[in-house]
Structure 1
């Protein structure tokens, strides 16, 4: 697979990986939700005079499950690669060897990237919308894959995401400049 986070072949200089800048705040939010649930359940138990150690352990386990569900994957990218680090493990996909980009069906919108080696990474496209540096890394490599003809499926998905990112960028510019 090559070195992850190593020098860029295109620029001949080291390029530092870029990260999801909102990940830490999302984790704090997940922790607040889990703690709030735990506190509410314990308070209700105490008020109903049904508190016990086994019930407290059950509520703690339930809050832990909620935390695992709510903690988002952390997305990191560099020239030629993108990695997602979640509670259940990490996935690295070579973005300079993409063969497909598609939207996953389900409740939450997910983008699935697959490379020529069969590796896949799944991420929330809002992470790319909120982090232009991550989007630029992926977009540059995806465009090169389209030009080489290796990206067989997903050009439309990437174009739709690019349009969405352009709209969000324009809204941000208007909001910051007071023209909204």
Structure 2
């Protein structure tokens, strides 16, 4: 838009600053999060910082929001991550690591809230995988 405005002859320093501001806001809003996981941990990296949670020491899991729901995971050490449940649906290997950690949390007794929510996500992922296998003729 800056280039179009400049070619039309209407670009002023104030308008250039406005377009730069719009670009910065779009960058902040549209920057994708990067989710990585390993045995016992999950990390969500945004534009400015990385948040980590110990999945083998989860204290709770919550669903926040109605329209664009987010899954919030919190561990007993104060770590907290927020991610879209679709990330887990589209990445079954990440879900497997989160689920294995959540099972360890249940065994240790640290997971007090959100066990049913994690079970629902697991059933949804299993149903989706089963549908893919049936559709491809592998099951």
Q: After TM superposition, is the score higher than 0.5?
A: yes
Q: Distance in 1 between matches of 2:51 and 2:14?
A: 37
Indicate conservation of the 8 Å contact 2:57/2:104, yes or no: no
Indicate conservation of the 8 Å contact 1:42/1:59, yes or no: no
Q: Which residue of 2 aligns with 1:116?
A: 76
Q: Which residue of 2 aligns with 1:102?
A: 62
Q: Which residue of 1 aligns with 2:110?
A: 150
Instruction: Tell me by how many angstroms 1:58 deviates.
Output: 1.5
Q: Which runs of 5+ in 2 are unaligned?
A: none
Specify which of 7, 23, 27 is matched with residue 67 of structure 1.
27
Q: Distance in 2 between matches of 1:67 and 1:172?
A: 35
Q: Deviations over 1:100-146 (max 9, x none)?
A: 01111264211111111111111111111111110000001101211
Instruction: Tell me by how many angstroms 1:174 deviates.
Output: 3.8
Q: Which runs of 5+ in 1 are unaligned?
A: 1-38
Specify which of 3, 6, 18 is matched with residue 58 of structure 1.
18
What are the residue-to-residue correspondences of 1:1-180 with 2, within 5 Å?
Answer: 39=1, 42-43=3-4, 45=5, 49-105=9-65, 107-177=67-137
| Number of matched pairs | 139
Partner of 2:77: helix, strand, or coil? coil
Q: Distance in 2 between matches of 1:175 and 1:59?
A: 47
Q: Distance in 1 between matches of 2:134 and 2:92?
A: 17
Q: TM-score, normalised by structure 1?
A: 0.68
Q: TM-score, normalised by structure 2?
A: 0.86
User: Could you say what the CA RMSD is over the residues aligned between the two structures, in angstroms?
Assistant: 2.3
- Structure 1 runs, 4 residues or longer, greater than 6 Å off: none
